[in-house]
Amino acid sequence: MNASLAAALAGFGTGLSLIVAIGAQNAFVLRQGVRRDAVLAVVGICAVSDAVLIALGVGGVGALVVAYPQAVTAVGWIGGAFLICYGVLAARRVIAPAGDALRAEGTTTGSRRRAVLTCLALTWLNPHVYLDTVFLLGSVAAGQGALRWTFGLGAALASLCWFTALGFGSRLLGRFLARPAAWRVLDGLVAATMITMGILLVAGG
């Protein structure tokens, strides 16, 4: 097998293994996909953001940040507080779900703006995104030597494929997730995951 292709496949597999996990970002993309609300914008933000972060990791920025522990601590505090807040909001939807949150179709300028801002926050204020894309992928890519950028390209492609499939493929789940009970279960999982992660991050900071 060609060395470049092998490096790209390695990056694709590594990136996919880090992205496919239960979390607020994936749950949000799934929700937007089912509602058909700003799907292209949300998928684009997630994919482009991952590509930028992967490039930073491959370029060696991860090593620079690690050299300043106080920066990592600050990110942990801010990210932990954000995750706890998001988890509390998800828990509120479990207790008192909003009727308009279950619509599968229709968007407004306000909802699109909120979707974009929420997606940006979930992506850039989540410390695990930096740990996975910048630190972990960056360190693995460094082991590829001259092919590290090919590895990074494969990882970025995995992100694009995953978020595209999740955002646009989630419409197939529309009938099931149109039920209020299904959303409450999803929000319950998100709330438990985010609050737990947030507490651990704040405690660790």
- CA 151, 156, 160, 163 dihedral sign is positive
Query: How many CA atoms lie less than 13 Å away from 119 in the CB half-sphere?
Result: 29
Domain encompassing residue 148: 3-204
What is the chain's length? 205
pLDDT at 106: 44
pLDDT digits (tens, 9 = 90+) for 167-191: 898 777 666 655 677 767 777 876 7
Number of folded domains that form the chain: 1
pLDDT in tens, 45-80: 999 999 999 998 888 765 665 566 666 566 567 667
pTM of this prediction?
Answer: 0.67
